[in-house]
Structure 1
Amino acid sequence: MAFFTGNMNGVGCVVRTGALAATLQGFKCPQWLSRLLHHLLPSMELRDQYDLLQHEVAELRKRLLEAESELRITRHAFESQDGILVTDANNIILKVNSAFTRLTGYRQDEVLGMTPSLLKSGRQDASFYRRMWNELREHHYWQGEVWDKRKDGTIYPKLLTIRAITDDRNHIINYIATFSDVSQQKEAKENIYRLAFYDPLTQLPNRRLLMDRLSLALVNSQKNKTYGAIFFIDLDNFKTLNDTKGHDFGDLLLTEVSSRLRSSVRQNDMVARFGGDEFLVVLEDISADEQLATQGALRVAEKVCQAISHTYELKGYRYHCTASIGISILSGEDNIHEILRRADTAMYHAKQTGRNTYCLFDPHMQEMIERKAGLEADLRMAVSQNQLLLYYQIQVDAEQRAYGAEVLLRWLHPVRGLVSPAQFISLAEETGLILPIGHYVLSTACQQLKAWERHENTRDLVLSVNISIRQLCQEDFVKQIRDILEATKINPSRLKIELTESLIMEGTSDNAQKMLELQQLGIHFAMDDFGTGYSSLVHLKRLPLNQLKIDRSFVGNIVHNANDAVIVKAIIAMAAALDLQVIAEGVETREQMEMLRQYGCTAFQGYLFSKPLPLEEFHGLLH
């Protein structure tokens, strides 16, 4: 029955059946067999065709199932999370998916027969689309970021991919576009960028972006042969606002200052927050002439100073702020760090000359900074190598009998010699070295009081010690004094602590409480330089004081200046009314002393009696 097999081709099957008949005719077979075969052959041909049809049906069924599977996959792919748009060769929309509707707001029936141009936002110009279509025609593919517009008018960024579909002759017959909304990705990327390059409080460029911009400014300055300038701006007394009103008020001030700075300079100038209460302004391309550029920078600095100094309204609180500005002229021959150093130096000079001003860098400023840095290094060495000495200036009563002394700090430098306190005390305050120095002075003074207790002619002496407000502001200052008293076992009433009037006024209520605790231990307090600050009777009543010290500026002119005489007389009378002792410092003549005695002053200190002396000479003076 091999003749029933074949190549599944109908023609081949029929040929095989006909060949069988011809072959049978060539054989000599019985007549009855020949008639039977002629009778069966038509049936065999029909059966062969039936088998062929069955096979073709099975093949068609298989192909149909495959097509349905592919269609199902295509349908699911078409309804993906990405928007899909299909157009014909003329860019007429034929079909969109549900994601298209979700992303754009347009239903399919609203866009069929339209072109994708209805989605344009207007942010891309005609040249952008020309480049897109040129690439599609050449490569049948384009991908990029496009800003489109939703039905509600919202403009958003999307990542768009377009593929051109061609026929067998490579003619474009369709375009398929897929796109996704990348708003969140762009926003996240922009947030990362802003966090990296912008200050989160003021939204100004931060130090990192400033350095990049400054580098570019130097390159442009060299290329264009022009001069610019950089301002280093530091707010005056900003810490006071933070300490008294809180950091939220400080943040409000910084935000307002940044706004005023932006409005005070040109749009292409850069304002940056350098850190804390420090700002930098970069002025580019002021002039090709250095002198004109300098004059222009000074005019802008004046404008900035005025803008910052106007009163601020911070949550209903009126605050007056000023700034110190250092200016450095910028040219392409400079480097970043040198420019910043010069501007910073000029800013510190502006602070030293009274604040609320601006200062142009001068080379002499750098010399001053270097001398100051050298002095600071030597002072640190002096603390560790015991180069600091205590001198003593006698204090006398109305009969010129010694009742005490003021301990004064001196610095015996191995090369500089004896360094005046006026040269290093303010530096010690600024650098924080005043804390270990102050502790050393207090401890040494108490040790000296203990030594004096052993001798009859010195056991009743009172020793006055100046302390800085930074010492008093230490949280453990009371404990430090307790520890010193415990270690030396002195009579606390023989120790008198002097605080300058201006520093007491800058202090806080916590400092008054510390003074009260120390007074309860027996320690006395004197207000030094009284009359030079802004004390009120309320402050004098609130503070636990025992003595007022009349400043030498009034005593020196008391004989020849009636106003000074009236002031001194009033101070003495006020002290008596408040039950406070009074001592006058800077007494240099007998006329001054007699006048002070007439007004009621009973204690004196000055060159009339003795200049400050080393301990051995002071002991000789007492004898």
Structure 2
Amino acid sequence: MLFHRFTGFLASRLVVSPEAPSALDPATRARVADTSNKFLRIFLNAWIAMGLVLAILSAVLAPYVMYGATLVMAVAAAARYALHRGRFQLARWLFIVPVCMALVVLVPLLNGIRSPILVSVPVLVLMSGWLLGRRAMWQVSAFLVVAFLLMWQVEVQGWWVMKTPFRPIDVWIIVWLFIIGLTAIITHSLIRNHEMDFLREAHLLDRLASALDFTESVLQRSPVPMRIFDRSGQCVQVNDAYARLVGVDRQTLLAQNFHAIGMWNATGLAADAHGALQGLQPAHRELAVRTSTGRELWLEMHLLPIEAQGERKLLVQVVDLTDRRRLAQELEHIAFHDPLTQLANRRLFNDRLTHALRRYKRDGRLGAVLLLDLNRFKQLNDAHGHETGDQWLVEVAARLRKVVRESDTVARMGGDEFVLLLEDLGTQRETAEHATRVIAAKIREALAMPAQLGAVPYSGSASLGVVLFTDADADPKSLVQAADAAMYGNKRAVAH
């Protein structure tokens, strides 16, 4: 109990951790401390063995200096016990402090500062630095320097004269063997620990290399197209999936710098990539591109800045949206177009008419709705079948597209009924009416031209109804109804 109290008190006053540079991380500090602990354990075991050898030599050659062996064993036993209890710092101090004190005491007994035992001082300084850190090493060095200066002054001033200035030769052989053995043990242990550190570091490097190889293998075999650029924009890695997507071989892609890729600059992707690298902020962009092979793609680009081996890099992951976009466009086309004639359907026509009325209300530019109904279409179906009737509907759609401008809209409302939206007819009513009459005449002329519907020759006609934008508050439904009424009025007039 008394020993534990004493060691606890000593530890609280003297214990310091082995010092390490402030820049070291905790893991490195722990590694330094672990190396020091292993060295201390090996050294104390060797110290005990050397104490036994010293005791035997002293008993044979110089029985009157058994105190040396006793000191060696006592110091080693105390430090080894503390080490066994896990008190590593205390074990270090229990070894260094008694050895320093013993050296100070033995020097006057062994010819003062002329004693060859002083060659062990560098070894002791080395031990204190290795076990206790740089600060403790300087403290031990200062203590020994002051002690030896005092011894020198005491002898120089004549305050103390050694009665036996020289020891017999058998004492010196024991001292020199002790010093040589101590130096050899320390050197062997230090070299062994450093070799272990090198082996551990080599093992870690091998593991790191294996991890990098694994990462590269995963990148290459990933089905997700990926590419890696360094901070300058130079491509440093690209997988086969990316090369297959864009139709370019890997060597060509590796030679590229994203600052010099035309498509990246034209779409702003290069600026996004540079900003992601500089600000370490991910970026995302969807864009339509045309590859060097002429293939049109719609891509989703994920720009992910990463830190790898102390270097900043940019990982580019690509998701091919081409099929998804094409499917969405097809569904949109189906939703807004007539499946037979591929003209706009009622829904799309009403939407465009709504926008046209808003523009008319805003800037006063006139437009017109022209509704037509095919004449004798029922008789064509009854006489030759619906397949022939469908052929005539498709032919009518094609002829109507040719007689109107690209900015106009041709729609099939259902059955044999078609409607046209004519926009930007000017701001004068007379001009708009004239343009509408011209288009109506072209429609009649186009429909009257002979057509070959399979084996059936056919020439058609249609009844037309036209209404101009005259009311800024009109709605699409009322305009179509007005055009329908005008069309039926014209049809009745022709019948009479």
Q: TM-score, normalised by structure 2?
A: 0.60
- 2:341 and 2:393 in contact (8 A); partners too: yes
In structure 2, what is the Cα distance between the partners aligned to 1:199 and 1:120? Answer: 40
With CA pairs under 8 Å and 6+ residues apart, which has the higher RCO, 1 or 2? 2
Q: Does 1:157 align with 2:313?
A: no
Preserved CA contact (<8 Å) 1:120 1:147: no
Please give the residue correspondences for 1:142-541 in structure 2 after superposition, counting only pairs within 5 Å: 142-163=283-304, 174-331=313-470, 332-354=472-494
CA shift in 2, pair 1:117/1:350, >3 Å: farther
Tell me how far 1:216 sits from its aligned partner.
Answer: 0.2
CA contact (8 A) 2:307 2:313 kept: yes
What is the DSSP-based 3-state SS (H/G/I as helix, E as strand, rest coil) of the residue aligned with 1:286? coil
Structure 2: gaps (5+ residues):
1-6, 8-14, 19-31, 44-91, 110-170
1:111-130 to structure 2, matched below 5 A, reads: 111-116=253-258, 120=262, 126=266, 128=268
8 Å contact 1:241–1:249 — kept in the other structure? yes
Specify whether residues 180 and 133 from structure 1 end up closer, same or farther in structure 2 by C-alpha distance, changes over 3 A only: closer
Question: Separation in 1 of the partners of 2:278 and 2:99?
Answer: 64
Q: Which residue of 1 aligns with 2:117?
A: none
Deviations 1:157-213 (A, max 9, x none): 3222334568999xx965443323322111011111111111222111111111110
Distance 1:131 1:325, change over 3 A: farther
In 2 relative to 1, CA 130–97 (structure 1 residues): closer, same or farther, beyond 3 Å?
A: closer
CA distance in 2, matches of 1:323, 1:144: 50
2: CA distance between counterparts of 1:239 and 1:337? 26
Matched with 2:146 is: none
Q: What's the CA shift for 1:41?
A: 3.2
| Alpha-carbon distance, 1:298 to partner | 2.5
Does the 8 Å contact 1:269/1:281 carry over to 2?
yes
Alpha-carbon distance in 1 for matches of 2:225, 2:270 = 23
Cα distance, 1:155 vs structure 2 = 3.2
1-structure distance, mates of 2:285, 2:36:
55
1:54 Cα deviation from its structure 2 partner: 3.0
Counterpart in 1 of 2:245? 103
Please say if residues 337 and 343 of structure 2, whose CA atoms lie closer than 8 Å, have aligned partners that are also in contact: yes
TM-aligned CA deviation for residue 257 of structure 1? 0.5
How much has 1:144 moved relative to structure 2? 1.8
Q: Distance in 2 between matches of 1:24 and 1:34?
A: 13
Aligned residue number for residue 398 of structure 1: none
- Aligned with 2:219 (options 59, 77, 91): 77
Distance 2:268 2:193 in 1: 63
Structure 1 residue 21 displacement after superposition: 3.5
CA contact (8 A) 1:326 1:343 kept: yes
Post-superposition offset of 1:148: 3.3
1:81-126 CA distances to partner (integer Å, 9 max, x unpaired)? Answer: 23333344443433322112211222222344334588756xx984
Q: CA RMSD in A?
A: 4.0
Q: Secondary structure at the match of 1:353?
A: helix
Equivalent residue letter for 1:41: L
In structure 2, give the amino acid aligned to 1:160: M
| 1:205 partner SS | coil
Counterpart secondary structure, 2:494: coil
The alpha-carbon deviation at position 300 of structure 1 amounts to 1.7
List structure 1 runs of 4+ shifted beyond 4 angstroms: 9-20, 23-29, 31-40, 116-121, 124-141, 163-169, 172-175
CA deviation after TM superposition for structure 1 residue 347, in Å: 1.9
Shift of 1:217: 0.6
Amino acid at match of 1:187: R
Q: CA deviation at 1:151?
A: 4.2
CA–CA distance in structure 2, aligned partners of residues 87 and 134 of structure 1: 10
Greater share of helix: 2
Structure 1 residues 118, 354: CA separation in 2 closer, same or farther (over 3 Å shift)?
farther
Alignment of 1:57 onto 2:199: yes
The alignment-based identity, stated in percent, is 24
Residues 284-340 of structure 1: CA deviation (Å, up to 9, x unaligned): 121322343233322322221221222211123211221111112224231111111
Partner SS, residue 349 of structure 1: helix
SS of 1:227 mapped into structure 2: coil
For residue 63 of structure 1, report the CA deviation from its aligned partner: 6.0
- Residue pair 1:92, 1:114 contacting (<8 A) in 2 also: yes
- Counterpart of 1:445 in structure 2 is none
Is the 2:267–2:287 Cα contact (8 Å) retained in structure 1? Answer: no
Question: Is contact 1:308–1:322 with CA below 8 Å preserved after alignment?
Answer: yes
Report if the CA contact (8 A) 1:232-1:325 is conserved.
Answer: yes
Q: How many residues align?
A: 349
**Contact 2:373-2:416 within 8 A present in 1 as well:** yes
What secondary structure does 2:236 align onto?
A: strand
Aligned partners of 1:51 and 1:131: how far apart in 2?
Answer: 52
Quote the residue 1:616 is aligned against. Answer: none
Per-residue deviation, 1:55: 5.8
Identify the structure with the greater strand proportion.
1
- CA distance in structure 1 between the aligned counterparts of 2:424 and 2:224, rounded to whole angstroms: 49
Q: In the alignment, is the contact (CA less than 8 A) between 1:120 and 1:149 conserved in 2?
A: no
Q: By how many angstroms is 1:231 displaced? A: 1.1
Q: Is the 8 A contact 1:84 1:176 kept in 2?
A: yes
Q: What is the rounded CA distance, in whole Å, between the counterparts of 1:193 and 1:8 in structure 2?
A: 69
Contact 1:103 1:150 in 2 (8 A): no
Q: Is the 8 A contact 2:228 2:235 kept in 1?
A: yes
CA distance in 2, matches of 1:326, 1:77: 65
1:7 is paired with a residue whose SS is helix
Quick one: structure 1 residues 69 and 137, their matched pair in 2 at CA, closer, same or farther if it must change by over 3 Å?
closer
How far did residue 277 of structure 1 move? Answer: 1.6
Change beyond 3 A, Cα 1:63–1:24: farther
Deviation at 1:229, TM superposition (A): 0.9
Deviations 1:545-592 (CA, angstroms, capped at 9, x unpaired): xxxxxxxxxxxxxxxxxxxxxxxxxxxxxxxxxxxxxxxxxxxxxxxx
Residue identity in the other structure for 1:57: L
TM, length-normalised to structure 1: 0.49
